[in-house]
Structure 1
Amino acid sequence: MGAPRKTPTPPVLVDTTLRDGEQAPGVAFSREEKLRLVRALVSAGIPEIEAGIPVMGTAEQETLWAIAALAGSRCRLLSWGRMHPEDLEAIRSLPIRFANLSIPVSDQQIEKKLQKGRSWVLETVRRFVREALDLGLEVAVGGEDSSRAELDFVLRVAETAQAAGASRYRFADTLGILDPFTTFRSIRKLRRTVDIDIEIHAHDDLGMATANSLAAYRAGATHISVTVNGLGERAGNAPLEEVVAALRYNSRTDCGVRGDSLFALSRLVAEISGRPIPEAKSIVGGSVFTHESGIHVDGLLKDPWNYQAFDPKELGRTHELVLGKHSGPRAIQWGYRRLGVDLSLSEAEAMRKPIAAFVTQRKRSPSPSELLGLLAETIPSGVGSRALPASRA
């Protein structure tokens, strides 16, 4: 994909959970829930929050006023709107002075949704950017469906936005069709064409939103749109927690967001959205730092770096070791030692079969009391198993 920038500046993350995240089917946040989320995002060090859509009405505008009062100067807020007079009128009355004004740029949406032409798009960008600037707003031009647009036209739209006074172009992969290689080439060409900031807004329909966001950053994007847990329309957006971790551990870039805040943020959004977190969800899933395999557990007990690419404590997590079908005798020894029972290797070997049978039948690891019950059933009383002193248990 070409060489990355030699001295990249960390990207600015733009959290749009309150806007694009709430557009997920069946998700609706109350005002208090939005304020709880803003508090958590600000505390985590999120530099920019896309707070909502003013044209939705009085209730949304009142919430945006409350968000602005809460965030103060600790976080930059954006509002979202179309390039439409009603949207601009709703935005002008708010204390949020940065507007993301969106317009389709693919021929598909220009012709089939707007029933307009390319020249109309260019003129509309000129007009609305200038009108917004006259209102004292800073403007990002959101190029909806940029990934399906002809790239040369995307470049013309971005150039037009820059000439009109916009400070940012949002390259939206609205349908999540990009791959990292195409993303890199497109953003690199865009970066070489305009001097304004470039934001990548990736959707996850093909499961590549995080990878596409990193590719865009390496190609010159200055901002990355994210949502907590990847919440959003259809398959969602680039997940905040994945982007933060991938930047830190893959690109060796600290974007300023506290890693130890991600787990709590994830749980909060799961609660207020009604969307449970999958157990295997990277970074924040319940089982992503849990180990059962005998080889892995043995290696972790010898040295955690045998089976960790980064310390989960940096993300507010810890390794969890459980016993199951794939546990070896040393892992079983370790598990029972935690319960105050010292097993010989032969006794631990004898426990493998009943533990595996339990997990196969119940589809979960046994609890401490169940492990002790399996031990009592498997090893006759008085044969080898020894209770450890309290100081060693």
Structure 2
Amino acid sequence: MDLLDVTLREGDQMPGRSYDADQKIDAGLVLDDLGLSYLQVGFPATGEKDREVIRTLAPKTNADIVGIARAVERDVELALEADADVVEVFGPLSDLQLEHAIGVSRSEMFDRFERVLDLLNDHGVTAHVTLVDAFRTQPKHVIDAATRLDADMVTLADTVGVATPSSTTEYLDSVNEHIDPSRLGVHLHDDLGVATANACVAYEAGVGKADVSVASLGERAGNPALEELVAIGDLEYDEPFEVDAERLLPVCRSVLSTLEEDVHDRKALLGTEVMEHESGIHTAVMLEEPAVFEPFNPARFGGDRRLLFGAGTGAGGAKGILQRAGIEPTDERVGTLLAEFETRGPLETHEAVSLAKGTFDA
């Protein structure tokens, strides 16, 4: 399954955000180092900023640079002028969206798709189609679109984040009976907290592409987290999606810094606290064998574990630090060191070892 990163487009559409061109270009170049297949960096019809970003990145990246466009000739012409490697045309086929969002019939929507795809194909540019609100569209209309439309990829968008793993499985099974799933993509939203799980379901169903974003940056609750999907792929499926897994977390953190975005301290993989341990039982055991209380070695994805020693440290942890410092762990020394930890902690492992040496080697 190929990954298409939407951080720079979806993140820029969040309320109160407006990344400048330099931020998007710098972040795009960093993301490209991961080995992603596609970077969706902007919406050319919205202004010169996104067109500049596309024009600058397209000749510099190994990833294909994607610009999005409504199924409107002028949108597509602006994407072509920006020299996007891929133009992703979007529009709905669901009853709700057709009636209330754009006010056209399904037949007219198909006509619009076909007109702009003809324009893209005439220019020799790779064309993708995204079906807005696909998971609330009758499967027969999605099958019809994948059959009729002359596009390399047809992406099914869970636009309002209503899908769950079970409903995603059911929906994909219904369309995969009639079309090659490798030609399908998924664009998912995390309103129910299961976007990454839904992306895993799509991978298991043979879907050819999934849209992701760093730290789930995106409208409302965001999109499947790039770092989560890559880590799950590597650990669960032995498939990191051609991403350089050992650089995953440093690159994601660099992107967040460039875009001036923060994540919660307990955000999976990226939060500052998720690879920290201070519990007495945990630190005592992990000094000897970290795997006892870790789902994976953080270094596998470019992260670092932090064992902290402070008021919560027990006798076993203090004993382990003394042993690591080459000092006999007598009961008296353990008690003294625990008192030092309570006063001076929390300390990282190397700081705790230095404290032990300074306390007992003088």
TM-score by length of 1: 0.82
Give the drift of 1:313: 0.8
1:328-384: CA deviations, max 9, x gaps? 21113445777898763455457768967x79xxxxx5358xx99xx9xxxxxxxx9
Letter in 2 for 1:150: Q
Partner of 1:284: 270
Question: Are residues 1:179 and 2:140 paired?
Answer: no
Find the aligned partners of 2:95 and 2:259 in 1 and give their Cα distance: 34
Find the aligned partners of 1:350 and 1:110 in 2 and give their Cα distance: 72
Give the drift of 1:246: 0.7
Partner of 2:315: 329
Question: Are residues 1:233 and 2:219 paired?
Answer: yes
Report SS of the residue matched to 1:143: strand
In the alignment, which of 320, 332, 350 is matched to residue 306 of structure 2?
A: 320
Question: Are residues 1:262 and 2:245 paired?
Answer: no
1:201-221: CA deviations, max 9, x gaps? 111111111100010110121
CA contact (8 A) 2:280 2:314 kept: yes
Partner of 1:65: 55
Partner of 1:166: 151
Partner of 1:190: 175
Find the aligned partners of 1:171 and 1:317 in 2 and give their Cα distance: 33
Partner of 1:366: 346
Find the aligned partners of 1:148 and 1:269 in 2 and give their Cα distance: 33
What residue ranges of structure 2 are gaps of 5+ in the alignment? Answer: none
Find the aligned partners of 2:117 and 2:208 in 1 and give their Cα distance: 20
Find the aligned partners of 2:140 and 2:98 in 1 and give their Cα distance: 15
1:28–1:272 distance in 2 versus 1, CA, 3 Å: farther
CA contact (8 A) 2:308 2:347 kept: no
Letter in 1 for 2:63: C
Give the drift of 1:260: 2.5
Letter in 1 for 2:136: R
Letter in 2 for 1:387: T
Partner of 1:42: 32
Give the drift of 1:53: 1.1
CA contact (8 A) 1:77 1:96 kept: yes
Partner of 1:245: 231
Question: Are residues 1:52 and 2:42 paired?
Answer: yes
CA contact (8 A) 1:15 1:225 kept: yes
1:17–1:59 distance in 2 versus 1, CA, 3 Å: same
1:129–1:350 distance in 2 versus 1, CA, 3 Å: same
Aligned length: 357
Give the drift of 1:248: 0.6
CA contact (8 A) 2:9 2:43 kept: yes
Give the drift of 1:128: 2.2
Question: Are residues 1:387 and 2:336 paired?
Answer: no
1:256–1:388 distance in 2 versus 1, CA, 3 Å: farther
Report SS of the residue matched to 1:322: strand
Find the aligned partners of 1:106 and 1:237 in 2 and give their Cα distance: 21
CA contact (8 A) 2:66 2:87 kept: yes
1:336–1:236 distance in 2 versus 1, CA, 3 Å: farther
Find the aligned partners of 1:152 and 1:185 in 2 and give their Cα distance: 14
1:289-330: CA deviations, max 9, x gaps? 111122222222222222223221111112211124543211
Partner of 2:84: 96
Partner of 1:301: 287
Find the aligned partners of 2:120 and 2:166 in 1 and give their Cα distance: 35
1:353–1:154 distance in 2 versus 1, CA, 3 Å: farther
CA contact (8 A) 1:125 1:157 kept: no
Give the drift of 1:83: 0.3
CA contact (8 A) 2:185 2:207 kept: yes
TM-score by length of 2: 0.89
Identity of aligned residues (%): 27
CA contact (8 A) 2:275 2:306 kept: yes
Partner of 1:7: none
Give the drift of 1:263: 2.1
Greater Cα shift, 262-271 or 174-183? 262-271
Give the drift of 1:255: 1.2
1:125–1:339 distance in 2 versus 1, CA, 3 Å: same
Find the aligned partners of 2:105 and 2:285 in 1 and give their Cα distance: 62
Find the aligned partners of 2:321 and 2:241 in 1 and give their Cα distance: 39
Find the aligned partners of 1:34 and 1:339 in 2 and give their Cα distance: 47
1:326–1:150 distance in 2 versus 1, CA, 3 Å: farther
Question: Where has structure 1 moved over 4 Å in runs of 4 or more?
Answer: 335-343, 349-356
Partner of 1:381: none
